[in-house]
Amino acid sequence: MTEKERLELAEILFPNIDKTREYYEEMYPERELPEGAMVTRYGPSPTGSVHLGNLFSAFCDMVYARQSNGVFFLRIEDTDQKRAVEGGIENITGVLKGFDITPTEGYGFGGEYGPYQQSERTEIYQTYVKDLIIKGFAYPCFMKEEEIEQIREEQEINKVQIGIYGMYAVDRDLSLEEVKEKLANKEEYVIRLKSPGNSNKQIEIVDLIKGKMRLPERNLDDVLLKKDGTPTYHFAHVIDDHLMHTTHVIRGDEWVSSLPLHIQLFELLGFTPPKYAHIAPITIKDSETGAIRKLSKRKDPWAGAKFYEESGIPIEALHLYLATIANTNFEEWYLNNQDKTIEDFEFSFDKQAIGGTSFDEAKLTNLCRTYFSRKNGEEVYNETLFYTEKFDKEYNKLLKENKEDMIQFLSIEKDGPRPRKDIAKYSDVKEEFSYAIDSMFQGENYSKYEGDKTYDISLIRSYVEELDLNVSNEEWFQQTKEFAVAHGYAASPKDYKKNPENYKGHVGDVCEAIRVMITGRTKSPDLFSIMKILGKRRIKERIDLWENFNHRS
Partner RNA sequence: GGCGAGUUGGUGAAGUGGCUUAACACACUGCCCUUUCACGGCAGCAUUCACGGAUUCGAAUUCCGUACUCGUCACCA
The least distance separating RNA from the CB of residue 517, rounded to whole angstroms, comes to: 13
Residue 118 near residue 231 (C-beta atoms within 8 A)? yes
Minimum CB separation of residue 197 from RNA in Å reads 13
Of positions 524, 533, 542, 543, contacts RNA by CB under 7 A: 524
- Amino acid identity of residue 116, one-letter, is Y
* Among the listed residues 270, 443, 493, 500, the single contact to RNA using CB under 7 A: 493
Positions in 47-106 near RNA (CB under 7 A): 77, 79-80, 83
**306, exposed or middle or buried, with CB in 10 Å at 0-12, 13-18, 19+?**
middle
Could you tell me which stretch among 108-116, 240-248, 338-346, 415-423 binds RNA (CB under 7 A)? 415-423
Examine residue 172 and tell whether it contacts RNA (CB under 7 A): no
Q: Which of 19, 351, 390, 397 is in the footprint of RNA by CB under 7 A? A: 351
Binding-site member from 421, 461, 487, 540 for RNA (CB under 7 A): 421
Closest to RNA by CB, 57 or 402: 57
* Residue number with CB closer to RNA (30 or 288): 288
> What are the beta bridge partners of residue 213?
205
Q: Is 40 in the site for RNA (CB under 7 A)?
A: no
Rg (CA), the chain: 33
Sheet (strand 71-74) strand order: 39-42, 71-74, 105-106
Using CB under 7 A, pick the residue from 135, 363, 532, 538 that binds RNA. Answer: 363
Site for RNA in 250-269 (CB under 7 A): 253-258
Among 176, 213, 457, 471, the residue binding RNA under the rule CB under 7 A is: 213
Phi/psi of residue 388, nearest 5 degrees: -70, -25
Q: Residue 403 and residue 480: Cα distance in Å, rounded?
A: 30
- Residue 139 φ then ψ, to 5°: -155, 155
Q: Quick check: 336 and 344 in contact, CB under 8 A?
A: no
Residue 535 in contact with RNA, rule: CB under 7 A: no
Residue type, 504: K
φ, ψ (nearest 5 deg) of residue 213: -135, 140
**Residue 502: is it exposed, middle or buried by C-beta count within 10 angstroms (0-12/13-18/19+)?**
exposed
Q: Residue 411 corresponds to which amino acid?
A: S
Pick the closer one to RNA by CB: 35 or 86: 86
Among 420, 504, 532, 538, binds RNA (CB under 7 A): 420
Question: How far is it, in rounded angstroms, from Cα 325 to Cα 337?
Answer: 18
**# binding residues, RNA (CB under 7 A):** 85
Compare residues 278 and 430 and give the one whose CB is closer to RNA: 278
Percent of residues in the chain assigned helix, strand, coil, to nearest 5: 50, 10, 40
Quote the least distance from Cβ 447 to RNA, whole Å.
Answer: 19
**DSSP string over 15-54:** TT----HHHHHHHSPPP---TT--EEEE----SSSPBHHH
Is residue 432 part of the contact set for RNA (CB under 7 A)?
no
Closest to RNA by CB, 12 or 215: 215
Reduce the secondary structure of 398-437 to three states and give it as a string. Answer: HHHHCHHHHHHHHHCCCCCCCCCCCCCCHHHHHHHCCCCC
Least distance between RNA and beta carbon 291 (Å): 5
120 sits near RNA (criterion: CB under 7 A): no
Q: Which is nearer to RNA, 94 or 216 (CB)?
A: 216
464 in contact with RNA (CB under 7 A): no
Site membership for RNA, residue 337 (CB under 7 A): no
User: In this complex, which beta carbon is closest to RNA, that of residue 111 or of residue 419?
Assistant: 419
The 3 state secondary structure assigned to 142-208 is: CCCHHHHHHHHHHHHHCCCCCCCCHHHCCCCCCCHHHHHHHHHCCCCCEEEECCCCCCCCEEEEEEC
* List 366, 382, 434, 445, residue binding RNA (CB under 7 A): 366
Binder to RNA among 28, 307, 449, 477 (CB under 7 A)? 477
Task: Pick the closer one to RNA by CB: 233 or 549.
Answer: 233
Which lies closer to RNA via its Cβ, residue 144 or residue 299?
144
Least spacing, CB of residue 360 vs RNA, in Å: 4
CB–CB of 295/302 below 8 Å?
Answer: yes
Site string for RNA, 126-165 (x = CB under 7 A): -----------------xxx--x---x------x-xxxx-
Contact 221, 164 (CB under 8 A): yes
- Local structure of 212: helix, strand or coil: strand
Distance separating alpha carbons of residues 219 and 13, to the nearest angstrom: 24
Complex with RNA: residue 202 or 548, whichever CB lies closer: 202
Stretch that binds RNA, among 27-35, 129-137, 322-330, 543-551 (CB under 7 A): 322-330
Looking only at residues 280 through 319 of this chain, which bind RNA when binding is defined by CB under 7 A? Answer: 281, 283, 285, 291-294
Nearest to 109 by CA among 47, 60, 41: 41
Nearer to RNA by Cβ, of 63 and 392: the residue is 63
Residue number, 262 or 392, with CB nearest to RNA: 262
- Residue 523 interacts with RNA (CB under 7 A): yes or no: yes
- Selected from 380, 528, 531, 543, the binder of RNA by CB under 7 A is 528
Q: Smaller CB distance to RNA: residue 283 or 382? A: 283
Question: For RNA, which stretch binds (CB under 7 A), given 1-9, 174-182, 215-223, 387-395?
Answer: 215-223
Give strand ranges (E) for 400-540: 489-490, 505-506
CB distance 281 to 356 below 8 Å? yes
Q: How far apart are CA 196 and CA 203, in angstroms?
A: 13
Q: Is 159 left (phi over 0), alpha (psi -120 to 50) or beta?
A: left
Q: Is 449 in the site for RNA (CB under 7 A)?
A: no
* Complex with RNA: residue 159 or 537, whichever CB lies closer: 159
Among residues 24, 28, 109, 233, the one that binds RNA under rule CB under 7 A? 233
